[in-house]
């Protein structure tokens, strides 16, 4: 990369430095292209992952069977699966205590579906976000223990010492989780968690639903050893895929294979809940990771954020079309309500954070009456806008409940956990990129100051504007539906596996058009060759919209991701524009 940035862009219209592929990646891409005959843009995408020519085909056609880890590699898995099957064989009463987000709901639905297929009903319990907060609590656990022999905590429980201690003898507890664990574990028959302190970290990227799936894999293996057959687990992979993407788990290794296979399962439209939700969301094309994260996931989350907390799990668990349609419509309505609440909180949080300063190691805001169900989303908005770890807290009756999001290289969960150990938080936990907390209002300023100090030690205060990483250049004539189909073979794309992003250099900006209040459509072309249309969502929330309108009839560099635009039964390629630069001044 030249000192001035890729294509000479060291400061784009949005203020970012463009970074192109390193020379070693270019050489590797060339080697893959020569050995395989694959398109160069696809080879660039493969090369950035460190793949060589011999590995390309296996990567493009991942085999879940080859990538799925042995469940027994996780500590306590043997005890968890054995206790689970004992409950099944002796027809015990099973309760499932689940977190209220997509991962928790998906985890619960996996267990409920498996148990229903063997004729055993189960009880679902999802704590109220506002009244009970995250994770097991003593009153709920005691109440469940009165009528159940086994309680399975999913996507929660690893740090719930008091709640699990409250369970009387006679009722067992199994924890299937992925949140960061402490030095000790709560009292339970088994705590299966790839993020336990005594795990090696090789499976730390799994979401809770994947941990549950692995437990069911082990349960099915034990059944086969005894001459019995278990339920079809492959048919459940659409739920695992949804949880993996919605929980922003990195799409690497087995996660990538789970999501890829899960999208194929979802495309068959076998599950009533996901079919109903897709219909209410007007999803009329083959599902992709984007749809899981930005179309279906938010609607399932809406019940836990502003509505009825167990709706998402019930939707994913049901096999009754009429019930599924009713639940999907409720969730869609709650999602509309969530967006309205989020908009109000977001405006206030951004104003407060700006007044406090956006260049600190921690960007945070807190407000009286801010709905706990949207603070996580608003924290994500702040994080994206500032490229800093962000915390947003809703205050009520002297107590604050908040959520945080981090940036690459900064472990927010560990710092939150330390604050809880130091007594500055009532409770707190999470993982590297996301965390939750509860704090007394009179300790709020001290807690945030201490958290900022901990994050500064990790280098959070030294992070500049996020660089724009590009996989190479591409001219409009090469952007075809066939190329997009080839690029999709390297997917699915998401966390830790971003979709390939290309620069289209030195294009003539023929036309610009504002769409709605915030968006911009443009048409651009090279000196020789076809035009390309581009869409920039939220362009007028920042400098891109006004500046590109001003630059109409000028030459620009464009940067973004390729997308298919379907209209009137016809598919055309468009650029999902993320940034631009003045071609004449670079």
Tell me which of 284, 319, 354 is where a domain ends.
Answer: 319
Calculate ∠ Cα 123-125-126, nearest 5°: 150
CATH number for position 246: 3.90.1640.30
How far apart, in whole angstroms, are the C-alpha atoms of residue 240 and residue 207?
9
List CB contacts of 201: < 8 A, sequence separation 6 or more.
Answer: 194, 195
Burial of 148 (0-12, 13-18, 19+ CB in 10 A): buried
Average pLDDT over residues 264-282: 97
pLDDT value, residue 408: 87
Return d(Cα 95, Cα 143) in angstroms, integer. Answer: 11
Co-location of 269 and 195 in the same domain: yes
Give the whole-angstrom CA distance, residue 417 versus residue 441. Answer: 18
CA–CA distance, 91 with 56 (Å, rounded to integer): 48
The Cα–Cα gap between 561 and 501 comes to: 5
In a shared domain, residues 216 and 304: yes
pTM, full prediction: 0.90
Whether 318 contacts 272, CB under 8 Å: yes
Q: How far is Cα 432 from Cα 247, in angstroms, rounded to an integer?
A: 12
Query: Is the CB of residue 379 less than 8 Å from the CB of residue 416?
Result: no
Average pLDDT of the chain, as a whole number? 94
- 8-state DSSP, 13: T
Cα–Cα distances (Å) from 210 to 112, 196, 337, in that order, read 15, 15, 30
Which is it for strands 502-515 and 172-176: parallel, antiparallel or unpaired? unpaired
Establish if 431 belongs to a structural domain. Answer: yes
Q: pLDDT tens for residues 349-397?
A: 999 999 998 989 999 999 999 998 899 999 999 998 899 999 999 999 9
Q: What is the CATH number of the domain that holds 30?
A: 2.40.50.460
In a domain, 331, yes or no: no
Has residue 566 got a pLDDT over 80? no
Please check whether residue 168 lies inside any domain of the structure. Answer: yes
Question: What's the token pair of residue 123?
Answer: 């009880």
Residues 290 and 226 in one domain: yes
In the chain, the number of structural domains is 3
For residue range 162-179, what is the model confidence (pLDDT) as tens digits?
999 999 999 999 999 999
What is the CATH number for 373? 3.10.310.30
Same domain? 15 vs 85:
no
Same domain, 408 and 442: yes
- 270 with 123, same domain: the answer is yes
Q: Name the nearest CA neighbour of 466 among 12, 49, 48.
A: 12
How confident is the model at residue 3, as a pLDDT? 46
Do 260 and 124 lie in one domain? The reply is yes
Whether the pLDDT of residue 277 is over 60: the answer is yes
Is pLDDT above 90 for 284? no
Mean pLDDT for the stretch of residues 317-325: 98
Same domain as 496, residue 453: no
In a domain, 64, yes or no: no
DSSP 493: -
Angle between helix 208-225 and 102-117 (nearest 10): 20
How many CB atoms lie under 10 A from the CB of residue 101? 27
Same domain for 168 and 235? yes
65 within some domain = no
* 328 is a domain residue: no
Residue 303 within any structural domain of the chain: yes
The string of pLDDT tens digits covering residues 10-30 is 999 998 999 999 999 999 999
Task: Give me the pLDDT at residue 570, please.
Answer: 78
Last residue of a domain, one of 402, 433, 462: 462
Contact 8, 1 (CB under 8 A): no
Task: State the average pLDDT over residues 109-120.
Answer: 98
Of 462, 481, 508, the residue that ends a domain is 462
Helices (H) and strands (E) in the chain, counts: 21, 17
Determine the angle formed by the axes of helices 237-246 and 272-280, rounding to 10 degrees.
50
Yes or no: say if 309 and 100 are a contact pair by the CB < 8 Å rule. yes
pLDDT band at 2 (very low <50, low <70, confident <90, very high): very low
Q: Domain range spanning residue 198?
A: 70-319
523 and 556 part of one domain: yes
What's the pLDDT tens digit per position in 36-81? 999 999 999 999 999 999 999 999 999 999 999 999 999 999 999 9
Given pLDDT bands bounded at 50, 70 and 90, which one contains residue 529?
confident
Task: Please report which confidence band the pLDDT of residue 580 belongs to, taking 50, 70 and 90 as the band edges.
Answer: very high
pLDDT, tens digit, 9 for 90 and up, residues 122-157: 999 999 988 888 899 999 999 999 999 999 999 999
Whether 487 and 563 map to the same domain: the answer is yes
Residues 132, 265 within the same domain: yes
Domain annotation covers residue 233: yes
Reduce the secondary structure of 78-125 to three states and give it as a string. HHHHHHHHHHHHCCCCEEEEECCCHHHHHHHHHHHHHHHHCCCCEEEE
Q: What is the pLDDT of residue 536?
A: 97
CA angle in degrees (0–180, nearest 5) for 535-539-542: 160
Nearest to 425 by CA among 391, 461, 473: 391
């Amino acid at each position: 990369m030249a000192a001035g940035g890729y294509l000479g862009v060291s400061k784009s219209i949005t203020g970012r430095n463009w970074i192109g592929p390193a020379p070693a990646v270019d050489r590797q891409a060339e080697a893959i292209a020569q050995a395989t005959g694959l398109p160069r843009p696809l080879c660039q995408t493969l090369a950035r992952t460190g793949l060589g020519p011999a590995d390309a085909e296996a990567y493009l056609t991942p085999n879940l069977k080859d990538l799925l880890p042995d469940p027994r590699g996780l500590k306590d898995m043997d005890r968890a699966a054995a206790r689970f099957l004992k409950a099944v064989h002796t027809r015990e009463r099973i309760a499932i205590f689940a977190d209220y987000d997509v991962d928790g709901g998906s985890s619960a639905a996996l267990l409920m579906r498996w148990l229903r297929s063997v004729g055993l009903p189960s009880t679902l319990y999802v704590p109220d976000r506002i009244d009970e907060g995250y994770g097991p609590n003593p009153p709920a656990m005691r109440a469940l223990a009165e009528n159940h022999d086994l309680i399975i905590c999913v996507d929660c429980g690893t740090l719930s010492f008091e709640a699990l201690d409250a369970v009387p003898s006679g009722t067992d507890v199994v924890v299937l989780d992925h949140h960061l664990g402490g030095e000790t574990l709560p009292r339970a028959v088994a705590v299966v968690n790839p993020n336990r302190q005594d795990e090696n970290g090789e499976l730390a990227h799994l979401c809770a639903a994947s941990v549950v799936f692995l437990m069911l894999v082990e349960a099915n293996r034990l059944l086969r050893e005894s001459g019995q057959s278990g339920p079809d687990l492959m048919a459940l992979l659409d739920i695992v895929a949804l949880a993996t993407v919605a929980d922003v788990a990195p799409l690497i290794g087995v996660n990538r294979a789970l999501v890829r296979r899960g999208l194929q399962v979802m495309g068959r439209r076998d599950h009533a809940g996901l079919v109903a939700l897709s219909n209410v969301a007007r999803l009329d094309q083959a599902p992709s990771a984007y749809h899981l994260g930005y179309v279906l996931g938010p609607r399932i989350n809406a019940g836990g954020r502003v509505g009825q907390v167990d709706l998402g799990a019930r939707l994913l668990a049901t096999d009754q079309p009429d019930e599924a349609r009713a639940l999907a419509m409720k969730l869609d309505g709650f999602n509309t309500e969530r967006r309205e609440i989020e908009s109000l909180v977001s405006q206030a949080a951004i104003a407060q954070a700006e007044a406090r300063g956006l260049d600190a190691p921690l960007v945070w805001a807190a407000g009286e009456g801010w709905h706990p169900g949207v603070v996580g989303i608003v924290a994500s908005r702040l994080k994206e806008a500032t490229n800093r770890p962000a915390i947003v807290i809703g205050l009520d009756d002297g107590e604050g409940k908040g959520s945080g999001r981090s940036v690459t290289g900064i472990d927010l969960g560990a710092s939150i956990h330390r604050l809880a150990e130091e007594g500055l938080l009532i409770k707190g936990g999470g993982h590297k990129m996301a965390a939750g907390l509860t704090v007394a209002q009179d300790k709020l300023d001290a807690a945030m100051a201490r958290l900022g100090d901990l994050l500064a030690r990790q280098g959070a205060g030294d992070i500049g504007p996020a660089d724009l990483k590009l996989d190479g250049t591409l001219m409009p004539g090469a952007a075809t539906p066939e190329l997009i189909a080839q690029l999709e073979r390297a997917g699915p794309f998401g966390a830790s596996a971003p979709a390939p992003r290309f620069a289209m250099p030195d294009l003539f900006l023929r036309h610009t058009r504002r769409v709605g209040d915030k968006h911009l459509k443009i048409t651009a072309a090279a000196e020789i060759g076809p035009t390309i249309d581009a869409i920039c969502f939220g362009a007028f929330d920042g400098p891109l919209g006004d500046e590109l309108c001003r630059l109409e009839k000028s030459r620009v560099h464009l940067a973004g991701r390729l997308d298919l635009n379907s209209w009137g039964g016809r598919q055309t390629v468009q650029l999902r524009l993320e940034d631009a630069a003045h071609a004449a001044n670079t």
